Amino acid sequence: MPEYELIPEGRYRARADKTDADEAIGQIGEKETPFILIYFTILSGPYEGRSVRYRGFLTSAALPYTLDALRAMGFKGNDISDLSGIGSVESSITIKHESWENENGEMKTYANVNWVNSIGGVTVNQIIPPAQKRNLFEQLKGDIAALDASSGANAEDDLDDINF
């Protein structure tokens, strides 16, 4: 596969390339907005071995999202100057295409990592004891009934209108 072929948009299994803060932290634009630049290597499929970049901004507003992405890459702790955990785990990345006009006025498109998630999905980290679970079910039953009443819906009456 030619190296110049644009990686299609979509989700991929990947691993962040190990890096250090001196190489990964930079700034961009007139406001000199700080960011972290991490490259990923795709692990499987027709684009296995290809590299794609992730750029996360380090502003107060963007930091929660960037930190979530860094954690999904293996970052631990709170010291951004220590990126030793990056690349210690596989991640699920979502690639989106971005376009820009270069200095010659030509439109260019590139693949960029838009989202980084941990592999494995949701897990139950604490089992609810049976008595507490029954109380939760009763509370939810009341909450659902209240929602139905406020919207004029009645789940049991709605079934009478369905022709089988």
Q: What is the pLDDT of residues 11-60, one digit of tens each?
A: 999 999 999 898 999 999 999 999 999 999 999 999 999 999 999 999 99
d(CA 64, CA 2): 36
User: How much is the pLDDT for 150?
Assistant: 80
User: How much is the pLDDT for 164?
Assistant: 41
The H or E element containing residue 36 is strand 33-42
The pairing of strands 10-16 and 90-101 is antiparallel
CB atoms within 10 A of CB 54: 24
Rounded to two decimals, the pTM is 0.69
Q: What is the CATH number of domain 10-118?
A: 2.40.50
Q: Where are the domains of the chain?
A: 10-118, 130-158
- Contact by Cβ (8 Å): 109, 97: yes
- Contact by Cβ (8 Å): 76, 85: yes
- Contact by Cβ (8 Å): 83, 19: yes
What's the distance, CA 88 to chain centroid? 17
- Tens-digit pLDDT profile for residues 64-88: 999 999 999 999 989 999 998 999 9
Q: Is the alpha carbon torsion for 65, 74, 5, 29 positive or negative?
A: positive
